[in-house]
Structure 1
Amino acid sequence: MSATNLFSPLRIRGIELKNRIVVSPMQQFSAVNGKVGHWHMVHLGSRAVGGAGLIITESLAVNKEGRSTHYDAGLWNDGHIPGWRTINKFIHEQDAKTAAQIAHFGSKASRSHPNDGLQYLTPENGGWVTKSSSAVAPFNNMSLPLELTLRDIGKIKKDFFAAARRAVSAGFDAIELHAGHGYLFHQFYSNIINHRKDQYGGSFENRIRLLVETAEEIRSIIPEAMPLMVRISAVDYLEDDKAWKIEDSIILANILKQIGVDLITASAGGFVFLDKSRVFPSYQVPFAEKIKSETGILTGAVGAITEAQQANDIIASGKADLAVMAREFLRDPYFPLHAAKELGGTATVPFQYKRAF
């Protein structure tokens, strides 16, 4: 293996990851009133036992209106802290780190449970009124929202700040803002959705304002040693002059770096379903590579990363600093242990499992 590889440690501010393998956020739709329970402990805990270096939670709603469904986990009140403290304690005992991904779904909120099709729920059917940058719904997977007022925007920012403080109290090692996949921040910075005429719409600087203001304030209120990360959609995947492009992401990443963001996870899309012909192994890795090379910020790569050699090549070639994996971890909670065996890397097997490795 090369000098820097999948099993090389990585320091980000005051924390050190034992390897470059990251459990990507995956919605579980299994919380009760925003509280996590036994499912979340087993789901995330097993990935820690399996050797992941960093485990990022599913999107934690910063307020009830920002949930995707009634079953989303959250950090909108102090009652959500104890469950996460318990989970974080166990994960830390496995020598892994944790990050809380905090989010607001905007006009992609108020949906039914996945078993019921993730369909938009009207207020009459148990849902709620959604809000976004503008009162538009150009895509099938979005509700028709109300336009957020300036007062609404101020309240949402405060909800993000409060959620960040709760993440610190709950014992998380890092925070990630979810600013991609067509959720609220993305609904502001993409010109496709944002039709506002005030200081949060129009120009590039105005459209990124909500994300920048939120990130900057969170950076100031969390511990200096605590990493702040942001997941973005590097491109909209739309053939439209107004669509968000990789050049926009590079400018945004530079600005976020200047205000103290430590790492960008470069995902993509969120407003439309991507044609399957455009989905292939490592298909989104070039976005992380481009942002890293142009800005120097640490990046996480995503996009159909499923094999040990594939993940190692991403790190060893310098395309990204982290391999962020989702579905493969659902199939194999012990991917890092298996990858270490395949690649000759170093991974600590819990003593309870050593007889099998």
Structure 2
Amino acid sequence: MMMSPGKIGKLELKNRLIYAPMGSHIDNLGPRSYAYFMERARGGASMVMIPIFIKEYLEMSAPSLTITDENYELSKKLVKDIQACGCKACFQIVPGYGRIMPGSIKYPGLPVAPSEIPAMYDPSVTCHALTIEEIGDLKKGYRETVEQLVDLNADAIEIHSYGGYLMDQFLSEVFNHRTDEYGGTLENRFRLLRELIEITKEVCGNDYPLIVKYTPCHYIDMPGYRRIEEGVELSKLLEKSGVDLLHVDAGSFENHYVAMPPTYQQEQVFQLRSSEIIKRHVLIPVATDGKLGDLDKGEHALLDCKTDFLVVGRGLLADPYLPNKLSENRPDDIVPCIGCNECISQVTAGKHIVCTVNPEAGKETEMLLKKAINPKKVLVIGGGPGGMSAALDAKRAGHHIELWEKSNRLGGMINAAGRPSFKLEVNELAQWYRRQIIKNQINVKYYKEATVENILKYGADAVIVATGSQSKKFPIKGIDGDNVVTAIDAMMDRATLGENLVMVGAGLVGCETALHLTPRGKKIIMIEMADKLLPEPIFYMNEIMLTQMVTRNQNIQVMVGTKLLEVTDHSVIVEVEGAQKEIPCETVVLAMGMKSEPNFMEELQGKVPVYCIGDCREPRHIIEALHEAREVVNSLA
């Protein structure tokens, strides 16, 4: 059903897959933005949503996408070229950030909001409450922006009113404390959004497709946050106001992992739960987002009448050609999004959008795979994500490839990373790589241990080393005992574990390993030398959800500020708050970080061109391995 046509008012769409209006920070609708949006249109989405801010408004000294004299002609070309692909061009108009103005944006004034409320990222700052005159300026800027979009021949407009941003703040009791016509009752809190809808109708006509993205339920059990009952009433008001499509989202910035579900949230519950309820109360179609690029989940959501359209962001960032591959009956070729949220993390930090599994995302002009002018004989050492990606890129570029893997299985660290039931997308990525290696007929040598001698004997024109990393061990008494295993071995079931474990290290690997083991009946005490769980920085949405998963697990006890001193046959000795303590256990699991495997760089220097990618250069994340693979292969062209 994903590929069946649908309608928004009188606008016909060729399928049910819409590219979400993800913020990108690439450039202000310049050449790179053009390439970015065009790639999604060529890939087969039925509609591409382009987020822009309203013209010349209070927040517009902050960097954002706006239509200007400088980018007007290219914006017009973008609309025309999107339409030439059989795709529709929709612009999402964002009235403002409000209290959630990102800390990464250097904004000279106070954040604005419906009322004088604390700013999200710095509660010591009180937001400026918009005056009636300033609301008038907002509406004027909105009208001018709509008029621009009519001139561009845009197919549809979406009003951004969701998830704790400025318009949702007006709609929400918890943020809107006004006593004038814009506060109090739901109808009054809805007034500004209704006025923006009316402006759109005045400028574009009643038949013009109008979409509103909003949040029927915040899923925060605190006074003032929206519950689904009020969300139903809000949906009826939107329908009555002439909206043609309800774009349902969920959550707010206080629980933003609800709106942007990370890999840990395997079941798509929040947005679909809301949209299913809303569909019972309105006659107009409903669109839903939130991890619906997954083919089975998305298809069932449509078949079960929980939604009418799937608004996919990260899935089409990972593979813009997902719709075309579905149409061509090639689902096994679709690159899976792994839900790592690296894309959103970068944008939140004020940087341009990226994608772990798609090096071209946001860099469509710079990172496009270069075809080999003079094909080379390339040896890739290591069959982890970096090595597999390098081998695939090099083969597709036209080089002659051989891949050496010292074990009997490709995948490397993503085999362990994708092992937990809450990280199935990572496992899907490993499977995707293995399928593509076979499909592209890449010559793989298993059980092949690389040495300087056999590397040189092979006679490659270039060697790409992707040998990965291994678990760290520190010089601690008893750490080499039979009752001590690494987190990787525990994750891969390569070690015999007792029932009572001590996990040394409460970083990302330690937390994920503990959560993987507790459903198997293990009781775990996690000790962490730092003063907090997850001491190494990870994206805040992922951190909030992972922290909740660990701290709410009754079979996991966390001890921070705790240093491992010694491992005995039946316990560990630790130092906590200046005193020594013995913790009984049957097995000690080490999650103390990673160190690079040998990379042959020094030994091969001057004898053959050699390139090091991924963790063997420095232990990091999958994104560095995959992007470095592309960079190296392009340098060989």
1:10 and 2:6 matched: yes
1:139 and 2:138 matched: no
Match of 1:95 among 86, 92, 96: 86
Alignment of 1:172-321 (within 5 A): 172-274=154-256, 279-283=265-269, 284-321=271-308
Corresponding residue for residue 73 of structure 1: 65
Residues 255-294 of structure 1: CA deviation (Å, up to 9, x unaligned): 1111210011111223313466983342311211211121
- Greater RCO structure (CA 8 Å; 6+ sep): 1
Amino acid at match of 2:148: R
CA shift at 1:67, angstroms? 4.7
- 3-state SS in 2 of match to 1:40: helix
Amino acid at match of 2:311: V
In structure 1, stretches of 5+ residues that fail to align are 112-117, 345-355
1:84 and 2:71 matched: no
Residues 219-241 of structure 1: CA deviation (Å, up to 9, x unaligned): 22213432000000222232212
Check conservation: 1:108, 1:141, Cα contact below 8 A.
Answer: no
Corresponding residue for residue 106 of structure 2: 121
Check conservation: 2:51, 2:94, Cα contact below 8 A.
Answer: no
CA shift at 1:300, angstroms? 0.5
In structure 2, stretches of 5+ residues that fail to align are 332-438, 440-637
TM-score, length basis structure 1:
0.84
Judged with a 3 Å threshold, the aligned counterparts in structure 2 of structure 1 residues 54 and 122 are, in CA distance, closer, same or farther, namely: closer
Judged with a 3 Å threshold, the aligned counterparts in structure 2 of structure 1 residues 214 and 65 are, in CA distance, closer, same or farther, namely: same
Check conservation: 2:57, 2:137, Cα contact below 8 A.
Answer: no
CA shift at 1:78, angstroms? 5.1
State the distance in 2 between where 1:232 and 1:150 align. 23
Check conservation: 2:99, 2:127, Cα contact below 8 A.
Answer: no
Residues 166-213 of structure 1: CA deviation (Å, up to 9, x unaligned): 111112100000001211111101111111111111121111111111
TM-score, length basis structure 2:
0.48
CA shift at 1:103, angstroms? 0.9
Residues 302-340 of structure 1: CA deviation (Å, up to 9, x unaligned): 111122232222222211110010111111010101223
State the distance in 1 between where 2:253 and 2:288 align. 20
Judged with a 3 Å threshold, the aligned counterparts in structure 2 of structure 1 residues 88 and 121 are, in CA distance, closer, same or farther, namely: same
Please say which of residues 35-44 and 215-224 is displaced more in the overlay.
215-224
CA shift at 1:85, angstroms? 0.7
Match of 2:26 among 30, 41, 55: 30
Check conservation: 2:15, 2:45, Cα contact below 8 A.
Answer: yes
Residues 95-120 of structure 1: CA deviation (Å, up to 9, x unaligned): 00011000122424654xxxxxx535
State the distance in 2 between where 1:180 and 1:280 align. 23
Corresponding residue for residue 135 of structure 2: 153
Corresponding residue for residue 353 of structure 1: none
Check conservation: 1:68, 1:108, Cα contact below 8 A.
Answer: no
CA shift at 1:343, angstroms? 8.0
Please say which of residues 311-320 and 161-170 is displaced more in the overlay.
311-320
Corresponding residue for residue 333 of structure 1: 320
CA shift at 1:14, angstroms? 2.9
RMSD: 2.4
State the distance in 1 between where 2:306 and 2:329 align. 21
- 3-state SS in 2 of match to 1:231: strand
State the distance in 1 between where 2:265 and 2:286 align. 20
Check conservation: 1:157, 1:214, Cα contact below 8 A.
Answer: yes
CA shift at 1:253, angstroms? 1.4
State the distance in 2 between where 1:10 and 1:281 align. 26
State the distance in 2 between where 1:68 and 1:327 align. 28
State the distance in 2 between where 1:266 and 1:292 align. 10
Bigger CA radius of gyration = 2
Corresponding residue for residue 505 of structure 2: none
- 3-state SS in 1 of match to 2:286: strand
